[in-house]
């Protein structure tokens, strides 16, 4: 059964960047058939929802846990982009987000996520694509 194994603990770095602190954040995905571990020290912006009035009011600040897992999967490139996006949807369903919030978020990453995906590959982030496997910790 899909589940968030750990509580999400972050520290605000600036207005839109947060760092995973205290312990890794783990998510068990039935869709992927594995546990993903977001390491301590990983930086996230949560869900990158445009801060435009009604759009942010409807979609912003709604899916922190799924967004952190998704950010990690994009950064580390340990899955395909499509699977990373589908894991995001799976985790939003698990949280109980209504369809009118989760589908626009998912459509947004499907339509525009290639920009971040390719940027991580191009910039040669220290960890990007270097993991055959997530540094998983058994539940």
1 vs 137: CA distance, rounded Å: 17
Q: Supply the pLDDT for residue 27.
A: 96
pLDDT value, residue 58 = 55
Q: Is 89 left (phi over 0), alpha (psi -120 to 50) or beta?
A: alpha
Q: State residue 118's pLDDT score.
A: 77
Global pTM exceeds 0.85: no
* Number of folded domains that form the chain: 1
For residue 52, give the nearest of 43, 60, 44 by alpha carbon. Answer: 60
Task: Kindly report, residue by residue over 58-108, the tens digit of the pLDDT.
Answer: 555 668 889 899 988 888 888 888 999 999 999 999 999 999 888 888 888
For residue 57, is it within any domain? yes
pLDDT of residue 92: 92
Tell me, yes or no, whether 69 lies in a domain: yes
Q: Is residue 77 part of a domain?
A: yes
Kindly state whether residue 97 falls inside one of the protein's structural domains: yes
In a domain, 102, yes or no: yes
State the residue range of the domain holding 78.
3-123
Q: Determine, yes or no, domain membership for 130.
A: no
Q: For residue 5, is pLDDT > 70?
A: yes
Whether residue 98 is contained in a domain is answered as: yes
61 domain-assigned: yes
Render pLDDT for 34-60 as a digit per residue (tens, 0 to 9).
999 998 888 887 766 444 444 444 555
Mean pLDDT computed over 106-132: 66
The mean per-residue pLDDT over the stretch 15-20 comes to: 75
């Amino acid at each position: 059964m899909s589940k968030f194994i750990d509580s999400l603990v972050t520290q605000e770095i600036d207005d839109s960047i947060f760092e995973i602190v205290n312990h890794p954040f783990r998510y068990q995905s039935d869709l992927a058939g594995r546990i993903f571990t977001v390491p301590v020290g990983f930086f996230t912006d949560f869900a990158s929802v445009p801060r435009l009035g009604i759009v942010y009011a409807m979609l912003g600040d709604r899916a922190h846990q799924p967004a952190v897992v998704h950010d990690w999967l994009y950064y580390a490139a340990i899955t395909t982009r499509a699977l990373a996006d589908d894991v995001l949807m799976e985790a939003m369903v698990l949280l109980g987000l209504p369809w009118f919030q989760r589908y626009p978020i998912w459509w947004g990453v499907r339509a525009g996520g290639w920009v971040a995906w390719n940027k991580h590959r191009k910039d040669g982030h220290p960890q990007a694509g270097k993991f055959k496997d997530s540094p998983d910790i058994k539940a």
